[in-house]
């Protein structure tokens, strides 16, 4: 096999190994959603919302490699086969530096590996002519391997990087004879191009397997390595490494320097991760829609998780202190049947089962349950008839409804008078023997929830009408006053004896009338003849009604049953009205009637010095019949037989009315 075939064999070996190790990772790529829909009805896994980390990540990994060496080395046309165990190499170890460094941003990686080792040995030699007693040998090996790569696979467990770069070799040999110090040295350095990959498999949140390899050539006919490591995190950013590394090179330089060896042995190291965004604790927010419902209405709760690994499937556990919760994903339904009115909360506990620590959070949303309204029933009652005479029955009807459409019933009938009996929403009121006045009939309405409303309606028992003989006896007569009476300085005067007798009879009869008609009133209207000034006549007529009222009150008529008004000369009787009244007066004979008619001017004036009386309940007005036959009529007229003549047509002071 020539050198080129060896190079390609090494490259293909590494690539084949990488592909074989990639198969499980590629198998984790999610299936086509359309295929999944054809085979299952389960909901799609709920992924967490994450935050992209596009910052730089750095890894520093100091290590120790204890390889054994076997192969062929030579120089200047001489070569030899070597087989040195790892323990022998360690016994020759003089000094060394080993470490790896990697920078990564997003999917781009920049790994660098460096190793510098110096081996030393001193051997005694036989006696010789040059008097040399020993020889010191120093071997220096330097490897510097920078690469550039791209992360082609990154799943929850697998990470695979495709890499390309170079490996710089330096080998130096130095032989010195002692004690003369005479020696000889030789060295070689070269660069090989490489291609390879690195595979990381997370066994858990702490344990990891790393397999890496590369192969290439250039100055060397073949240059390749394979390594396998087991890592265990002792802290979030610190891990310990233990594994095995195999490195093979076949270099034959133009100066006849030969280095065709394979180095393999255990590796012990540690990694320190720097950079990147600090871990953000997972959070979640919950919401409900609607946030307020009536008892029995459902509501939907939704949880939104943040800062979880977006590639992990989360578990959602819902709970509530009000109602039954149904749901296992980002949303759930709360059934509020049977839940009392009040404020409640629904909680989502969200966990990432792939995170051993810090992979849990929760959120809560509040909602309010309103109980159905508890409005009391409404009721109204009516009576037919609403006003009646004692002994007449009344039909009572009550109408009751519930604003909340709850069944209702009417009962609890009662009354403040008479006797009421009924079932349901109707009752009858018996008013036999009831006193005049208002009877209140009441009932209650009760719904199925026990809410009660009361309502009532009035029934008026009317006062029985007065006996016919009392109404007939209560004949009203106008009251007459002498001229200019009563005086302003003596308002209690002016009532002559005949008029007092008329008022006494009226007071006695009206008091009996009030017993059957307590709402009855006497309306007194005072008049004055037109001889005085209008203001004087108005005041005079007011004194006349006041005197009439005070006399009636003095003799037992309630003051509240009397109303008064002063008219002055506004409604004086006309001469024709006075004449008609005289002609209709059956108490006068023809001779008296003719004599009175001859003195009409005086009679008209006397007829307008009066107080008219009206009964409010019937509208009956007093008879305007002047008391010509009364013993004191001359006092009222001013001379029964005297001739009243017209005053001369000259200005004389007006006589008071």
Average of pLDDT values for 525-545?
A: 93
Tokens of 117: 């080792």
Query: For 594-606, what is the mean pLDDT?
Result: 89
Backbone phi and psi for residue 171, each to the nearest 5 degrees, phi listed first: -130, 130
Across 120-126, average pLDDT = 65
| Among the listed residues 240, 244, 246, the one whose alpha carbon sits nearest the alpha carbon of residue 226 | 246
The pLDDT of residue 566 is 94
**CATH 3.30.1330.60 domain locations along the chain:** 469-637
Residues of the chain with CATH 2.60.40.10: 283-370
Of residues 365, 363, 373, 362, the one with CA closest to residue 334: 365
pLDDT digits (tens, 9 = 90+) for 155-176: 878 999 999 999 999 988 777 7
pLDDT over threshold 70, residue 467: no
Helix or strand or coil: residue 637?
helix
The whole-number pLDDT of residue 102 equals 94
Count of positions (residues) in the chain: 657
- Given 3.50.50.60, 3.40.50.150, 2.40.128.90, 1.20.1740.10, which CATH number is that of 3-22+55-275? 2.40.128.90
User: What's residue 25's pLDDT?
Assistant: 42
CATH number for the region 378-462 comes to 2.60.40.1080
Three-state secondary structure readout of 63-117: EEECCEEEEEEEECCEEEEEEECHHHHHHHEEEEEEEEEEEEECCEEEEEEEEEE
The pTM of the full predicted model, rounded to 2 decimals, is: 0.45
pLDDT in tens, 44-78: 444 445 455 678 999 999 999 989 899 988 766 67
Q: Where in the chain is the domain with CATH 2.40.128.90?
A: 3-22+55-275
Residue 312: its pLDDT value, please? 86
Phi and psi at residue 155, to the nearest 5°: -120, -170
Give residue-wise pLDDT tens across range 132-147.
Answer: 666 777 788 899 999 9
The alpha carbon of 593 is separated from its chain's Cα centroid by a whole number of angstroms, namely: 98
State the chain's mean pLDDT as an integer: 83
Dihedral of the CA atoms 568, 574, 577, 583 (nearest 10)? 110
Q: Where do we find the tokens 């943040």?
A: 306
Q: Give the mean pLDDT of 165-192.
A: 81
Q: State the span(s) of the chain assigned CATH 2.60.40.1080.
A: 378-462
pLDDT at 289 over 90: yes
The pLDDT of residue 143: 94
Of residues 74 and 35, more confidence is placed in: 74
Q: Where are the strands (E) in 471-609, listed by range?
A: 479-480, 522-526, 562-566
For residue 526, which of 574, 579, 480, 581 has the smallest C-alpha distance?
480
Class of 283-370 in CATH: mainly beta
Residue with tokens 């200005």: 651
Pick the more confident residue, 75 or 24: 75
Domain topology for 469-637: 60s Ribosomal Protein L30; Chain: A; (3.30.1330)
């Amino acid at each position: 096999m020539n050198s080129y075939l060896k190079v390609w064999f090494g490259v293909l070996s590494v690539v084949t190994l990488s592909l074989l190790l990639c198969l499980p990772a590629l198998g984790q790529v999610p299936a086509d959603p359309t295929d999944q829909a054809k085979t299952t009805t389960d909901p799609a896994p709920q992924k967490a919302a994450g935050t992209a980390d596009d910052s730089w990540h750095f890894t520093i990994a100091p290590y120790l490699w204890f390889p054994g060496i076997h192969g062929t080395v030579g120089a200047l046309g001489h070569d030899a086969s070597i087989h040195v165990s790892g323990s022998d190499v360690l016994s020759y170890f003089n000094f060394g530096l080993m470490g790896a460094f990697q920078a990564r941003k997003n999917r781009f990686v920049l790994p660098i590996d460096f190793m510098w080792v110096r081996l030393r040995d001193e051997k005694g030699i036989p006696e010789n002519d040059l008097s040399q007693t020993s020889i010191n040998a120093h071997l220096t090996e330097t490897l510097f391997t920078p690469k550039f790569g791209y992360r082609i696979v990154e799943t929850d467990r697998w990470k695979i990087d495709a890499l390309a770069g170079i490996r710089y070799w330096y080998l130096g040999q130095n032989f010195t004879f002692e004690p003369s110090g005479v020696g000889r040295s030789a060295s070689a350095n070269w660069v090989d191009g490489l291609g390879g990959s690195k595979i990381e498999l997370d066994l858990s949140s702490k344990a990891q397997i790393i397999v890496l390899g590369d192969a290439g050539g250039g100055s060397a006919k073949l240059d390749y390595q394979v390594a396998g490591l087991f890592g265990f995190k002792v802290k979030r950013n610190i891990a310990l490494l233990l594994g095995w590394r195999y490195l093979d090179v076949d270099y034959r330089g133009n100066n006849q320097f030969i280095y065709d060896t394979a180095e393999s042995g255990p590796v012990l190291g540690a990694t320190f991760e720097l950079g990147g965004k600090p871990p953000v604790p997972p959070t979640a927010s919950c919401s409900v829609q609607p946030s307020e419902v009536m008892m029995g209405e459902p509501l939907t709760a939704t949880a939104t998780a943040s800062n979880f690994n977006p590639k992990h499937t989360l578990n959602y556990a819902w709970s509530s202190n009000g109602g039954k919760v149904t749901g296992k994903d980002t949303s759930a339904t709360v059934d509020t049947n049977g839940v009392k009115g009040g404020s409640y909360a629904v909680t989502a506990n969200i966990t990432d089962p792939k995170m051993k620590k810090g992979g849990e959070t929760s959120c809560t949303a509040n909602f309010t349950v309103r109980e159905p309204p508890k409005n009391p029933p409404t009721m109204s009652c009516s009576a037919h008839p609403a006003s009646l005479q004692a002994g007449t029955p009344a039909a009572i009807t009550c109408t009751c409804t519930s604003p909340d459409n709850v069944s209702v019933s009417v009962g609890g009938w009662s009354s403040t008078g008479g006797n009421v009996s009924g079932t349901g929403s109707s009752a009858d009121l018996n008013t036999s023997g009831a006193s005049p006045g208002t009877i209140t009939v009441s009932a209650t309405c009760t719904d199925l929830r026990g809410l009660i409303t009361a309502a009532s309606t009035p029934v008026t028992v009317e006062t029985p009408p007065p006996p016919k003989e009392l109404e007939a006896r209560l004949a009203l007569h106008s009251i007459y006053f002498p001229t200019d009476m009563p005086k302003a300085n003596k308002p209690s005067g002016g009532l002559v004896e005949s008029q007092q007798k008329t008022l006494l009879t009226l007071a006695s009869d009206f008091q009996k009338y009030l017993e059957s008609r307590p709402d009855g009133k006497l309306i007194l209207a005072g008049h004055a003849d037109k001889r005085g000034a209008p203001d004087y006549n108005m005041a005079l007529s007011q004194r006349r009604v006041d005197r009439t009222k005070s006399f009636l009150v003095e003799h037992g008529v309630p003051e509240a049953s009397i109303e008064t008004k002063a008219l002055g000369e506004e409604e004086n009787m006309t001469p024709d009205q006075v004449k008609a009244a005289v002609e209709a007066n059956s108490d006068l004979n023809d001779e008296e009637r003719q004599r009175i008619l001859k003195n009409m001017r005086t009679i008209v004036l006397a007829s307008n010095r009066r107080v008219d009386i009206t009964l409010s309940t019937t509208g009956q007005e007093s008879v305007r019949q002047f008391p010509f036959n009364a013993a004191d009529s001359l006092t009222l007229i001013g001379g029964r037989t005297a001739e009243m003549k017209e005053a001369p047509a000259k200005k004389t002071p007006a006589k008071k009315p």
